[in-house]
Chains A and B, each alone.
Chain A
Protein backbone atom coordinates (compact mmCIF):
# COMPACT_ATOMS: atom_id res chain seq x y z
CA UNK A 1 0.00 0.00 0.00
CA UNK A 2 2.80 2.35 1.04
CA UNK A 3 4.84 1.37 -2.01
CA UNK A 4 1.79 1.99 -4.17
CA UNK A 5 1.38 5.42 -2.60
CA UNK A 6 5.02 6.22 -3.33
CA UNK A 7 4.50 5.26 -6.98
CA UNK A 8 1.45 7.54 -7.11
CA UNK A 9 3.43 10.40 -5.54
CA UNK A 10 6.14 9.99 -8.17
CA UNK A 11 3.47 10.33 -10.86
CA UNK A 12 2.07 13.42 -9.11
CA UNK A 13 5.58 14.91 -9.14
CA UNK A 14 5.55 14.48 -12.91
CA UNK A 15 2.26 16.40 -13.13
CA UNK A 16 -0.01 13.37 -13.67
CA UNK A 17 -3.59 14.58 -12.98
CA UNK A 18 -4.93 11.03 -12.72
CA UNK A 19 -2.49 10.29 -9.90
CA UNK A 20 -3.49 13.57 -8.22
CA UNK A 21 -7.13 12.47 -8.33
CA UNK A 22 -6.24 9.13 -6.72
CA UNK A 23 -4.52 10.94 -3.82
CA UNK A 24 -7.46 13.35 -3.58
CA UNK A 25 -10.04 10.56 -3.33
CA UNK A 26 -7.89 8.58 -0.87
CA UNK A 27 -7.44 11.43 1.60
CA UNK A 28 -10.56 13.55 1.04
CA UNK A 29 -12.83 11.89 3.61
CA UNK A 30 -10.48 12.17 6.60
CA UNK A 31 -9.37 15.66 5.55
CA UNK A 32 -12.88 17.13 5.22
CA UNK A 33 -14.03 15.70 8.56
CA UNK A 34 -10.90 17.05 10.25
CA UNK A 35 -11.33 20.50 8.70
CA UNK A 36 -15.00 20.53 9.76
CA UNK A 37 -14.13 19.68 13.35
CA UNK A 38 -11.65 22.57 13.40
CA UNK A 39 -13.73 25.19 11.58
CA UNK A 40 -17.21 24.00 12.67
CA UNK A 41 -18.57 24.93 9.25
CA UNK A 42 -18.80 22.92 6.01
CA UNK A 43 -18.06 25.84 3.67
CA UNK A 44 -14.92 26.68 5.62
CA UNK A 45 -13.97 22.99 5.72
CA UNK A 46 -14.33 22.73 1.93
CA UNK A 47 -12.20 25.87 1.47
CA UNK A 48 -9.52 24.48 3.79
CA UNK A 49 -9.40 21.10 2.04
CA UNK A 50 -9.43 22.66 -1.44
CA UNK A 51 -6.58 25.03 -0.52
CA UNK A 52 -4.79 22.14 1.20
CA UNK A 53 -4.83 19.91 -1.87
CA UNK A 54 -3.76 22.78 -4.15
CA UNK A 55 -0.82 23.61 -1.87
CA UNK A 56 0.11 19.93 -1.53
CA UNK A 57 0.14 19.36 -5.30
CA UNK A 58 2.00 22.59 -6.00
CA UNK A 59 4.69 21.84 -3.44
CA UNK A 60 4.82 18.05 -3.96
CA UNK A 61 8.44 18.34 -5.12
CA UNK A 62 9.34 19.38 -1.56
CA UNK A 63 7.81 16.16 -0.22
CA UNK A 64 10.55 13.69 0.74
CA UNK A 65 10.41 10.34 -1.03
CA UNK A 66 9.71 7.33 1.16
CA UNK A 67 7.68 9.18 3.80
CA UNK A 68 3.91 8.65 4.25
CA UNK A 69 1.79 11.31 2.57
CA UNK A 70 -0.93 11.45 5.22
CA UNK A 71 0.89 13.27 8.08
CA UNK A 72 2.43 15.78 5.66
CA UNK A 73 -0.92 16.51 4.03
CA UNK A 74 -2.81 16.51 7.36
CA UNK A 75 -0.46 19.20 8.66
CA UNK A 76 -1.29 21.36 5.62
CA UNK A 77 -5.04 20.88 6.17
CA UNK A 78 -4.81 21.65 9.91
CA UNK A 79 -2.94 24.89 9.18
CA UNK A 80 -5.37 25.90 6.41
CA UNK A 81 -8.39 25.14 8.61
CA UNK A 82 -6.98 27.10 11.55
CA UNK A 83 -6.21 30.06 9.29
CA UNK A 84 -9.72 30.06 7.79
CA UNK A 85 -11.25 29.73 11.25
CA UNK A 86 -9.26 32.77 12.42
CA UNK A 87 -10.20 34.71 9.28
CA UNK A 88 -13.93 34.21 9.66
CA UNK A 89 -14.01 34.06 13.47
CA UNK A 90 -17.39 32.88 14.67
CA UNK A 91 -19.15 34.37 11.63
CA UNK A 92 -19.48 31.05 9.80
CA UNK A 93 -19.45 28.72 12.81
CA UNK A 94 -22.36 26.64 13.98
CA UNK A 95 -22.31 26.28 17.80
CA UNK A 96 -21.21 22.80 18.86
CA UNK A 97 -24.51 22.23 20.66
CA UNK A 98 -26.39 22.65 17.37
CA UNK A 99 -24.48 19.86 15.62
CA UNK A 100 -26.58 17.16 17.19
CA UNK A 101 -29.84 18.71 16.10
CA UNK A 102 -28.58 19.31 12.55
CA UNK A 103 -27.04 15.89 12.07
CA UNK A 104 -29.84 13.83 13.59
CA UNK A 105 -33.38 14.93 12.83
CA UNK A 106 -34.97 12.36 15.17
CA UNK A 107 -36.83 13.66 18.21
CA UNK A 108 -35.27 13.05 21.67
CA UNK A 109 -37.82 10.30 22.32
CA UNK A 110 -36.80 8.46 19.18
CA UNK A 111 -33.09 8.52 19.90
CA UNK A 112 -31.92 5.21 21.30
CA UNK A 113 -29.88 5.04 24.48
CA UNK A 114 -26.71 4.17 22.53
CA UNK A 115 -27.29 7.05 20.19
CA UNK A 116 -27.81 9.33 23.16
CA UNK A 117 -24.50 8.21 24.66
CA UNK A 118 -22.77 8.73 21.33
CA UNK A 119 -24.18 12.24 21.08
CA UNK A 120 -23.04 13.00 24.61
CA UNK A 121 -19.55 11.77 23.75
CA UNK A 122 -19.42 13.84 20.55
CA UNK A 123 -20.64 16.86 22.50
CA UNK A 124 -17.97 16.29 25.13
CA UNK A 125 -15.24 16.10 22.45
CA UNK A 126 -16.44 19.38 20.96
CA UNK A 127 -16.33 21.04 24.34
CA UNK A 128 -12.66 20.19 24.85
CA UNK A 129 -10.28 23.09 24.24
CA UNK A 130 -8.43 22.90 20.91
CA UNK A 131 -5.09 21.77 22.31
CA UNK A 132 -6.76 18.68 23.78
CA UNK A 133 -9.37 18.19 21.05
CA UNK A 134 -6.95 18.12 18.09
CA UNK A 135 -4.82 15.19 19.35
CA UNK A 136 -8.05 13.22 19.97
CA UNK A 137 -9.30 13.94 16.42
CA UNK A 138 -5.95 13.17 14.78
CA UNK A 139 -5.58 9.90 16.71
CA UNK A 140 -9.10 8.53 16.46
CA UNK A 141 -10.53 10.08 13.29
CA UNK A 142 -7.41 10.46 11.13
CA UNK A 143 -5.76 7.37 12.65
CA UNK A 144 -2.37 9.01 13.04
CA UNK A 145 0.18 7.55 15.44
CA UNK A 146 1.32 9.63 18.41
CA UNK A 147 4.58 10.38 16.57
CA UNK A 148 2.69 11.49 13.45
CA UNK A 149 0.31 13.60 15.57
CA UNK A 150 3.36 15.23 17.16
CA UNK A 151 4.73 15.98 13.68
CA UNK A 152 1.43 17.52 12.54
CA UNK A 153 1.08 19.69 15.64
CA UNK A 154 4.79 20.56 15.94
CA UNK A 155 4.91 19.15 19.46
CA UNK A 156 7.13 16.63 21.25
CA UNK A 157 5.65 13.12 21.36
CA UNK A 158 5.61 13.27 25.18
CA UNK A 159 3.36 16.37 25.01
CA UNK A 160 0.97 14.61 22.61
CA UNK A 161 0.79 11.62 24.99
CA UNK A 162 0.03 13.80 27.99
CA UNK A 163 -2.60 15.79 26.08
CA UNK A 164 -4.29 12.59 24.95
CA UNK A 165 -4.32 11.34 28.54
CA UNK A 166 -5.74 14.60 29.89
CA UNK A 167 -8.31 14.75 27.08
CA UNK A 168 -9.56 11.23 27.83
CA UNK A 169 -9.78 12.02 31.55
CA UNK A 170 -11.82 15.14 30.80
CA UNK A 171 -14.13 13.23 28.47
CA UNK A 172 -14.66 10.61 31.15
CA UNK A 173 -15.44 13.22 33.81
CA UNK A 174 -17.78 15.03 31.46
CA UNK A 175 -19.68 11.85 30.64
CA UNK A 176 -19.92 10.71 34.25
CA UNK A 177 -21.26 14.13 35.22
CA UNK A 178 -23.74 13.94 32.38
CA UNK A 179 -26.57 11.61 33.30
CA UNK A 180 -26.59 8.61 30.99
CA UNK A 181 -22.94 9.25 30.05
CA UNK A 182 -20.62 6.57 28.63
CA UNK A 183 -18.15 5.46 31.24
CA UNK A 184 -17.37 1.82 30.61
CA UNK A 185 -13.62 1.96 30.94
Chain B
Protein backbone atom coordinates (compact mmCIF):
# COMPACT_ATOMS: atom_id res chain seq x y z
CA UNK B 1 0.00 0.00 0.00
CA UNK B 2 1.79 3.13 -1.24
CA UNK B 3 1.12 6.83 -0.61
CA UNK B 4 0.06 7.15 -4.26
CA UNK B 5 -2.48 4.31 -3.93
CA UNK B 6 -4.05 6.00 -0.88
CA UNK B 7 -4.20 9.34 -2.68
CA UNK B 8 -5.66 7.81 -5.85
CA UNK B 9 -8.32 5.91 -3.89
CA UNK B 10 -9.37 9.12 -2.14
CA UNK B 11 -9.45 11.12 -5.38
CA UNK B 12 -11.27 8.52 -7.49
CA UNK B 13 -14.23 8.20 -5.14
CA UNK B 14 -14.78 11.84 -4.26
CA UNK B 15 -15.63 13.43 -7.61
CA UNK B 16 -18.02 16.26 -6.87
CA UNK B 17 -21.10 16.26 -9.16
CA UNK B 18 -21.92 19.92 -8.37
CA UNK B 19 -21.29 23.24 -10.12
CA UNK B 20 -18.44 25.56 -9.06
CA UNK B 21 -20.21 28.49 -10.77
CA UNK B 22 -23.40 27.99 -8.75
CA UNK B 23 -21.47 27.66 -5.50
CA UNK B 24 -19.45 30.81 -6.29
CA UNK B 25 -22.65 32.75 -7.01
CA UNK B 26 -24.07 31.66 -3.63
CA UNK B 27 -20.89 32.83 -1.90
CA UNK B 28 -20.60 36.17 -3.64
CA UNK B 29 -24.29 36.90 -3.06
CA UNK B 30 -23.79 36.30 0.67
CA UNK B 31 -20.73 38.55 0.70
CA UNK B 32 -22.48 41.54 -0.91
CA UNK B 33 -23.52 44.02 1.78
CA UNK B 34 -27.27 43.80 2.17
CA UNK B 35 -28.87 47.21 2.00
CA UNK B 36 -32.50 47.84 3.06
CA UNK B 37 -34.79 48.18 0.04
CA UNK B 38 -35.41 51.86 0.59
CA UNK B 39 -31.65 52.54 0.51
CA UNK B 40 -31.55 51.23 -3.06
CA UNK B 41 -33.87 54.03 -4.12
CA UNK B 42 -32.19 56.69 -1.99
CA UNK B 43 -30.45 58.19 -5.02
CA UNK B 44 -33.90 58.98 -6.46
CA UNK B 45 -35.32 60.43 -3.26
CA UNK B 46 -33.40 63.72 -3.38
CA UNK B 47 -34.29 64.63 -7.00
CA UNK B 48 -37.85 63.47 -6.34
CA UNK B 49 -38.11 65.76 -3.30
CA UNK B 50 -36.65 68.59 -5.38
CA UNK B 51 -39.23 67.97 -8.10
CA UNK B 52 -42.08 68.02 -5.57
CA UNK B 53 -40.87 71.33 -4.09
CA UNK B 54 -40.54 72.74 -7.58
CA UNK B 55 -44.11 71.72 -8.41
CA UNK B 56 -45.40 73.27 -5.18
CA UNK B 57 -43.60 76.51 -5.97
CA UNK B 58 -44.90 76.53 -9.54
CA UNK B 59 -48.52 76.02 -8.41
CA UNK B 60 -48.15 78.66 -5.69
CA UNK B 61 -46.61 81.27 -7.99
CA UNK B 62 -48.84 84.33 -8.77
CA UNK B 63 -51.12 84.15 -11.81
CA UNK B 64 -50.34 86.75 -14.56
CA UNK B 65 -53.30 89.07 -13.88
CA UNK B 66 -52.55 89.38 -10.16
CA UNK B 67 -50.35 92.23 -8.89
CA UNK B 68 -46.70 91.27 -9.15
CA UNK B 69 -45.17 90.14 -5.88
CA UNK B 70 -42.27 92.22 -4.63
CA UNK B 71 -38.95 90.50 -5.20
CA UNK B 72 -35.39 91.35 -4.53
CA UNK B 73 -34.20 93.53 -7.42
CA UNK B 74 -31.18 91.42 -8.41
CA UNK B 75 -32.81 87.96 -8.36
CA UNK B 76 -35.21 86.90 -11.07
CA UNK B 77 -38.20 84.70 -10.04
CA UNK B 78 -36.89 81.65 -11.96
CA UNK B 79 -33.59 81.97 -10.09
CA UNK B 80 -35.44 82.11 -6.79
CA UNK B 81 -36.96 78.73 -7.56
CA UNK B 82 -33.49 77.42 -8.27
CA UNK B 83 -32.23 78.78 -4.96
CA UNK B 84 -35.11 77.27 -3.01
CA UNK B 85 -34.43 73.82 -4.43
CA UNK B 86 -30.67 74.11 -4.40
CA UNK B 87 -30.12 72.94 -0.83
CA UNK B 88 -32.28 69.92 -1.33
CA UNK B 89 -30.65 68.77 -4.57
CA UNK B 90 -27.04 69.36 -3.55
CA UNK B 91 -25.07 67.87 -0.70
CA UNK B 92 -24.46 70.70 1.70
CA UNK B 93 -22.63 68.90 4.49
CA UNK B 94 -20.79 65.63 4.93
CA UNK B 95 -20.85 63.16 7.82
CA UNK B 96 -17.79 61.07 8.63
CA UNK B 97 -18.03 58.01 10.90
CA UNK B 98 -14.94 56.45 12.50
CA UNK B 99 -14.99 53.60 15.04
CA UNK B 100 -12.78 54.52 18.02
CA UNK B 101 -11.81 50.97 18.93
CA UNK B 102 -11.78 47.41 17.65
CA UNK B 103 -15.46 46.62 17.94
CA UNK B 104 -16.18 43.36 19.74
CA UNK B 105 -19.52 41.88 20.73
CA UNK B 106 -20.47 42.72 24.31
CA UNK B 107 -18.52 45.98 24.32
CA UNK B 108 -19.88 49.51 23.65
CA UNK B 109 -19.56 50.76 20.08
CA UNK B 110 -17.69 54.05 20.37
CA UNK B 111 -17.75 56.26 17.31
CA UNK B 112 -16.24 59.59 16.33
CA UNK B 113 -18.61 61.69 14.20
CA UNK B 114 -17.55 64.69 12.13
CA UNK B 115 -19.96 67.00 10.36
CA UNK B 116 -18.26 69.14 7.72
CA UNK B 117 -19.86 72.05 5.86
CA UNK B 118 -19.35 71.67 2.13
CA UNK B 119 -21.01 74.92 1.10
CA UNK B 120 -21.85 78.38 2.33
CA UNK B 121 -24.52 77.60 4.88
CA UNK B 122 -25.82 78.22 8.35
CA UNK B 123 -27.19 75.09 10.00
CA UNK B 124 -28.81 75.32 13.42
CA UNK B 125 -30.75 73.13 15.88
CA UNK B 126 -28.79 70.05 14.91
CA UNK B 127 -29.98 66.68 16.24
CA UNK B 128 -28.15 63.40 15.69
CA UNK B 129 -29.75 59.96 15.48
CA UNK B 130 -27.62 56.81 15.30
CA UNK B 131 -29.00 53.45 14.19
CA UNK B 132 -27.34 50.05 14.20
CA UNK B 133 -28.87 47.69 11.63
CA UNK B 134 -28.09 43.96 11.47
CA UNK B 135 -27.24 42.97 7.91
CA UNK B 136 -29.19 39.76 7.80
CA UNK B 137 -32.38 38.86 6.00
CA UNK B 138 -34.55 41.15 8.14
CA UNK B 139 -32.30 44.27 8.32
CA UNK B 140 -33.43 44.57 11.91
CA UNK B 141 -32.69 47.88 13.64
CA UNK B 142 -30.84 46.69 16.75
CA UNK B 143 -30.28 50.10 18.34
CA UNK B 144 -31.62 53.59 17.72
CA UNK B 145 -30.23 56.34 19.93
CA UNK B 146 -30.57 60.11 19.80
CA UNK B 147 -27.80 62.51 20.71
CA UNK B 148 -27.78 66.30 20.98
CA UNK B 149 -24.14 67.36 21.07
CA UNK B 150 -24.63 70.31 18.74
CA UNK B 151 -28.11 71.55 19.62
CA UNK B 152 -26.75 74.94 20.68
CA UNK B 153 -24.16 75.20 17.91
CA UNK B 154 -24.23 76.48 14.37
CA UNK B 155 -22.48 74.89 11.42
CA UNK B 156 -21.21 77.65 9.15
CA UNK B 157 -19.16 77.56 6.00
CA UNK B 158 -15.73 75.92 6.40
CA UNK B 159 -16.55 74.63 9.89
CA UNK B 160 -16.30 71.07 11.21
CA UNK B 161 -18.31 69.90 14.19
CA UNK B 162 -17.00 66.82 16.02
CA UNK B 163 -18.39 64.59 18.72
CA UNK B 164 -18.01 61.11 20.18
CA UNK B 165 -20.97 58.83 20.77
CA UNK B 166 -21.33 55.38 22.30
CA UNK B 167 -23.88 52.85 21.07
CA UNK B 168 -25.11 50.01 23.26
CA UNK B 169 -23.14 46.75 22.84
CA UNK B 170 -24.51 43.90 20.73
CA UNK B 171 -24.26 40.26 21.75
CA UNK B 172 -24.17 38.69 18.29
CA UNK B 173 -21.19 38.88 15.96
CA UNK B 174 -21.68 39.61 12.26
CA UNK B 175 -22.01 42.43 9.75
CA UNK B 176 -23.84 45.57 10.81
CA UNK B 177 -24.66 48.91 9.22
CA UNK B 178 -24.21 52.10 11.23
CA UNK B 179 -26.52 54.86 10.04
CA UNK B 180 -26.02 58.42 11.23
CA UNK B 181 -28.83 60.86 10.51
CA UNK B 182 -28.50 64.56 11.30
CA UNK B 183 -31.51 66.88 11.23
CA UNK B 184 -31.28 70.63 11.39
CA UNK B 185 -32.61 73.94 10.16
CA UNK B 186 -31.17 75.85 7.26
CA UNK B 187 -32.78 79.26 6.66
CA UNK B 188 -35.67 78.02 8.83
CA UNK B 189 -36.21 75.03 6.54
CA UNK B 190 -35.71 71.51 7.88
CA UNK B 191 -32.98 69.44 6.27
CA UNK B 192 -31.78 65.87 6.78
CA UNK B 193 -28.28 64.57 6.06
CA UNK B 194 -27.35 60.94 6.51
CA UNK B 195 -24.44 58.59 6.11
CA UNK B 196 -23.97 54.82 6.50
CA UNK B 197 -20.96 52.66 7.22
CA UNK B 198 -20.68 48.88 7.38
CA UNK B 199 -18.84 47.35 10.34
CA UNK B 200 -17.98 43.80 11.31
CA UNK B 201 -18.41 42.82 14.93
CA UNK B 202 -16.39 39.79 16.00
B-binding residues in A (CB < 8 A):
17, 20-21, 24-25, 28-29, 32-33, 36-37, 42, 45-46, 49-50, 53-54, 57-59, 62, 99-100, 103, 117-119, 121-122, 125, 136-137, 140-141, 168, 171-172, 175, 182-185
A37 contacts B14, C-beta separation under 8 Å: yes
A-binding residues in B (CB < 8 A):
1-3, 5-18, 20, 23-24, 26-28, 30-31, 175, 200, 202
A171 contacts B1, C-beta separation under 8 Å: yes
A45 contacts B16, C-beta separation under 8 Å: yes
Cross-chain pair count, CB within 8 angstroms: 92
A141 contact set on B, CB distance < 8 A:
7, 10-11, 14
A168 contact set on B, CB distance < 8 A:
1
Q: How far, in Å, is B52 (CB) from chain A's closest CB?
A: 37
Which of B6, B15, B202 contacts A103, CB < 8 Å?
Answer: B15
Of all chain B residues, the one with the shortest Cβ separation from A143 is B7
A122 contacts B27, C-beta separation under 8 Å: no
A42 contact set on B, CB distance < 8 A:
16-18
Q: How far, in Å, is B102 (CB) from chain A's closest CB?
A: 11
Of all chain B residues, the one with the shortest Cβ separation from A21 is B24
Whole-angstrom distance between the alpha carbons of A117 and B2 in the complex? 12
Select the residue from A58, A62, A136, A137 with max chain B CB neighbours within 10 A: A58
Which of B1, B18, B200, B202 contacts A183, CB < 8 Å?
Answer: B1
A172 contact set on B, CB distance < 8 A:
1
Whole-angstrom distance between the alpha carbons of A59 and B30 in the complex? 14
Whole-angstrom distance between the alpha carbons of A100 and B175 in the complex? 43
- Whether A175 contacts B1 in the complex (CB less than 8 A), given A37-B10, A100-B13, A136-B6, comes out as yes
A58 contact set on B, CB distance < 8 A:
31, 175, 200
- Whether A121 contacts B1 in the complex (CB less than 8 A), given A28-B23, A42-B18, A57-B31, comes out as yes
Of all chain A residues, the one with the shortest Cβ separation from B8 is A118
Select the residue from A50, A103, A140 with max chain B CB neighbours within 10 A: A140
Whole-angstrom distance between the alpha carbons of A95 and B92 in the complex? 66
